[in-house]
Structure 1
Amino acid sequence: MKITRRMMVGGTVGAAAAAYGGLVAWQNRNIPSTNKGMALVADPDEILDLPEGFSYRVVARTGSTMSDGLLRPGRPDGMACFAFSGRDNAVILTSNHEIPTWDGISAFGKDDALRSKFTGKYYDTRPDTGMPYHGGVTITHYNLDTGEVERDFLALAGTKINCAGGATPWGSWLSCEETTDVGNAPHGFVFEVPALIDGPVEPVPLKAMGRFRHEACAVDPASGIVYMTEDGGEDCFYRFIPNVPGRLAEGGTLQALMIEGKPSVDTSNNDEPTLIEGKEYAAGWITLDDVEAPDADLAQRAIAAGAAMFKRGEGMAYGHKPGGAQGEIFFNCTSGGKAGVGQVFRYTPGASNDEGTLTLFFESPGAGTMEYCDNLAVAPWGDLIVCEDGIGDQYLRGITPDGRIYDLARNAHEDSSEFCGACFSPDGKTMFVNIQEPGITLAITGPWETLRVA
């Protein structure tokens, strides 16, 4: 394993499609919630509580029949929204389905009776039954004007526990397997699904991106580097430097982040404070070998070589600074922090590939502020949007550039399941999100301009 180092400090808070920065503190409106946000209005249909003036539409539900004759799979998780070429009134949603082998939520129906309707190939089948694994990706063509699904189909099949992932600047979805189980083939890889594909994709694992419990991806468009989180308990923060930017299947170099002067540091702060909130730490990268990891030991080997350890890496989003090419990567750690209920980190690349800084951007002091942060998005008005995967009520939380928290939505469904896959339409007017159980995809609209602080 080769260690690269960096020696500079720099960076300010970044953003995504809209500039993340230059905003003043969040101002309380209406009746403050416990998190100093807006009051949420109770939903009479008991699905989603939203601020006054906001509304939602149900895009899709688990078990509905899709355009290809298959059933919409259960446990929708990570998701992205893409522009529909030549159409301003339609978008393309790519959605993961975090399914292991459970019955009742498969695209193929009970006893996999609908398998004959699937025209593509499976990545893997179960050794005990020969039936395909039920995880994968669906694609949905959604009309923003009518609120109707125009087409939906299964795009990736035979994978397992497809949790999060990330959109690429070249128009594809990276779907991540959050398991290193072995069926007839090993699992724990990233799969690429072009958003504009007309049918099922060829299921090709991107093995050079490593075999581990993948969670989320984010691509720096300036360099083509793909950053990745891992959700296994004692994890690393990775990056993949492709041999050819935008062509991940052609291989590249996998590395794990290290913190200068803190070899193999536990960043969670669970037992003792090791990182100070708001402080920038010089970061370097360890080049990894044997990345297909037949023993599923990639993180252990990386940490032993000096890589930093993170506590359950989850959602991630790329943020872009105003007026320049430099961007930043935000990512969540679900079980990090002294209270063990979540941290948000920021990685700022430096002037060269071997330079960067890591900052503990936010650490939740308790479940009442933010509990078990999971998927992550950057809003058009500049705030971070965090999907909770907590124990009690589940919220969509907003985090301002100065680290203040507010409530954006509450899951009012009786199942009280986690929020997943928050993402925005290209025009910034619609936010899509999944409620994992019983499996509902929602489109939220409203006066987003009221959330932008001038």
Structure 2
Amino acid sequence: MERRSLLRAAVLGGSTAAFGGSLWRGAAHAAPAQPGTGPYGPLSAPDTNGIRLPAGFTSRVVARSGQTVPGTSYTWHNAPDGGACYVDGSGWIYVSNSEINPSGGASAVRFSATGSITATYRILSSTRQNCAGGKTPWNTWLSCEEVSLGYVYETDPWGTKPAVRRDAMGRFKHEAAAADPVRKVIYLTEDETNGRFYRFVPTVWGDLSAGTLQVMVAGTGTSGSFTWANVPDPDGSPTATRSQVSGSKSFDGGEGCHYADDTVWFTTKGDNRVWQLNLLSNTYELAYDDSLVSGTAPLTGVDNITGSASGDLFVAEDGGTMEICVITPDDVVAPFLRVEGQSASEITGPAFSPDGTRLYFSSQRGTSGSSSGGITYEVRGPFRS
């Protein structure tokens, strides 16, 4: 707490640049986002689901752990976590991980063009503590095991093809994944206090069965240049992948990861930061740090992250005040929604429907504070395009 107070004082007293720059313009050493008025305005009183939303937005419950999903005979999984959406004809699919160990896995919900639930089914079984993951350009879901020597599983959101374990993507405490179709790589975060940031370079883009695992190499500061180095032994035994490359950069608890427009963002929960890598200049910097804000930090407990068509980032809180906060391209951070009465939970799996009008997410432990109390929601409204 003392360190953060000192850093905040230094920013406020010593640098007008702390309030300038833009995350998306890729300016060198742009300042971390600052609290301000968000694009959607203040939060209203809690609705019937206990969610505080801006004016014009509504919520509904899609599924509850241990209960049959409405309109289907399928029982929703415990501890819903990372998720993504896929086009399905005139409708769409939302996939969701289950962060329990053992028997984690993932499930999917299919929606019609009107948003009605038409089917729910299992897409991955018999895995461990499936936390986050990522969507591929070829429309598969990468489900990541958040355990020591965990694997990445490539799954079919339609549930027709069997899931495949992708050993070449390395064995470590996997968290999230983000695909970069320009450089033809998959970025990976590691949920360790001294975790690393990786990328997997497939031998053939679109086929994750073989390739090279690389780790980010950089200095110890919060900005600078970076390179990539091959990880000699991706299976992480006997030496952990994070300890194999001298000069690889340590990150305190890697969480969510999102790619767009030659930029990749990822979060670290140990220091409540959002990191930004400019992939054109091979430089990195902070997009957000709760210790470098003026006044009270609106975003704490940073976790899963996604982006919208407007370039806004939506960052979910693990704890904090149970909010999803928005970080705009103008470097403003503000609450977008807040879940009331669920302080023993965390928000997981934010993902937009293909048309950008609906945001899906879960409260992993709901009102009970138990993995069996998870609730998956949909928020609908006038999102910026």
Aligned to 1:94: 95
For 1:272-316, what per-residue CA distance to the aligned partner results, in whole angstroms no more than 9, with x for missing partners?
Answer: xx32xxx5x2111111111111346111223xx110000101101
Deviation digits for residues 121-144 of structure 1, max 9, x if unmatched?
xxxxxxxxxxxx310010110235
Conserved in 1, the CA contact under 8 Å of 2:49 and 2:61?
Answer: no
Structure number with bigger Rg: 1
In the other structure, the counterpart of 2:199 is 239
Residue equivalent to 1:374:
303
String of CA shifts for 1:156-202, please: whole Å, max 9, x gaps: 0010110000001110110000002xxxxxx501000122333xx53
SS of the residue corresponding to residue 243 of structure 1 reads strand
Confirm whether residue 311 of structure 1 aligns to residue 241 of structure 2: no
- Alignment of 1:223 with 2:152, yes or no, is no
1:129 maps to what in 2? none
Cα drift, residue 13 of structure 1: 4.1
CA distance in 1, matches of 2:58, 2:260: 27
Q: Identity percentage over the alignment?
A: 33
Q: 1:196 aligns with which of 155, 158, 162?
A: 158
Which of the numbers 243, 247, 254 marks the counterpart of 2:213? 254
Q: For residue 362 of structure 2, what is the aligned residue in structure 1?
A: 434
Contact conserved, 1:216 with 1:315, CA < 8 A, in 2?
yes
CA distance in 2, matches of 1:412, 1:148: 26
Paired position in structure 1 for 2:231: 288
Query: Alpha carbons of 1:37 and 1:93: their partners in 2 closer, same or farther (altered >3 Å)?
Result: closer
Aligned mates of 2:364, 2:152 — CA distance in 1? 21
Alignment of 1:162-173 (within 5 A): 162-173=130-141
Aligned to 2:76: 72
After the TM superposition, which residues 330-349 of structure 1 pair with which residues of structure 2 at under 5 Å, given as runs? 330-336=265-271, 342-349=272-279
Q: What TM-score do you get using the length of structure 1 for normalisation?
A: 0.71
Where does residue 127 of structure 1 map in the other structure? none
Q: Is the 8 A contact 2:317 2:324 kept in 1?
A: yes
- Partner-residue secondary structure (3-state), 2:53: strand
1:47 shift after superposition: 2.6
Q: Using the TM superposition, give the Cα deviation of residue 45 of structure 1 relative to its aligned residue in structure 2, in angstroms.
A: 2.4
Aligned pair count reads: 346
Do structure 1's residue 38 and structure 2's residue 47 form an aligned pair? Answer: no
1:397 alignment partner in structure 2: 325
1:361 to 276, 283, 287: 287
For 2:351 and 2:325, the matched residues in 1 are separated by 13
**Runs (5+) with no aligned partner, structure 1:** 1-10, 16-24, 30-35, 101-132, 181-186, 266-273, 321-326, 337-341
- Paired with 1:195 and 1:390, the residues of 2 have a C-alpha distance of 29
Whole-angstrom distance in 1 between the partners of 2:61 and 2:215:
40
The one-character-per-residue Cα deviations of 1:231-258 (angstroms, maximum 9, x if unpaired) are 0111100000000001002x10001001
Give the aligned partner of residue 10 of structure 2. Answer: none
- Runs of 4+ in structure 1 displaced over 6 angstroms? none
Question: Is the 1:46–1:413 contact (alpha carbons within 8 Å) kept by the matching residues of 2?
Answer: no
Question: Which residue of structure 2 lines up, in the alignment, with residue 444 of structure 1?
Answer: 379
- d(CA) in 2 for partners of 1:44 and 1:203? 38
Instruction: Name the CA distance, whole Å, in 1 between partners of 2:23 and 2:316.
Output: 20
Q: How far, CA to CA, are the matches of 1:203 and 1:194 in structure 2?
A: 7
Shift of 1:364: 1.2
The structural deviation recorded for 1:28 is 3.3
Aligned mates of 1:379, 1:44 — CA distance in 2: 24
Counterpart in the other structure of 1:22: none
Aligned partner letter, 2:106: V
| Residue in structure 1 matching 2:336, options 404, 408, 413 | 408
In the alignment, the residues of structure 2 paired with residue 296 and residue 412 of structure 1 have an alpha-carbon distance, to the nearest angstrom, of: 43
Q: Of the candidates 83, 87, 108, which is equivalent to residue 87 of structure 2?
A: 83
Return the alpha-carbon distance in structure 2 between the equivalents of residues 398 and 153 of structure 1: 31
Structure with more relative contact order (C-alpha pairs < 8 Å, separation 6 or more): 1
Distance 1:416 1:37 in 2: 27
1:400 aligned partner, one-letter code? T
RMSD across aligned C-alpha pairs, in angstroms? 2.4
Distance in 2, matches of 1:27 and 1:343, equals 18
CA distance in 2, matches of 1:94, 1:404: 30
In structure 2, the partner of 1:28 is 37
Tell me: CA distance 1:59–1:300, structure 2 relative to 1, closer, same or farther (3 Å).
Answer: same
Q: CA deviation at 1:402?
A: 3.2
Question: 2:350 touches 2:361 (CA, 8 Å); kept in 1?
Answer: yes
Aligned partners of 1:225 and 1:12: how far apart in 2? 25
One-letter amino acid matched to 2:270: S
Deviations 1:196-243, CA, capped at 9 Å, x for gaps: 333xx5343211111000000001012320000000111100000000
Higher-strand-fraction structure = 2
Taking the aligned partners of 1:217 and 1:402, their CA distance within structure 2 comes to: 26
Decide whether the 8 Å contact of 1:37 with 1:407 is kept in 2: no
Letter in 2 for 1:42: A
- Tell me if structure 2 keeps the 8 A contact 1:228–1:239: yes
Contact 1:68 1:153 in 2 (8 A): no
TM-score using structure 2 length: 0.84
Partner of 1:141: 110
The CA deviation string for residues 390-414 of structure 1, in whole angstroms up to 9 with x for no partner, is 24x2110011123221110001134
Note the alpha carbon deviations across 1:333-354, whole angstroms, 9 max, x for none: 1112xxxxx111111223xxxx
- Confirm or deny: 8 A CA contact 1:37 1:405 kept in the other structure: no
C-alpha contact (below 8 Å) 2:123/2:156 kept by paired residues: no
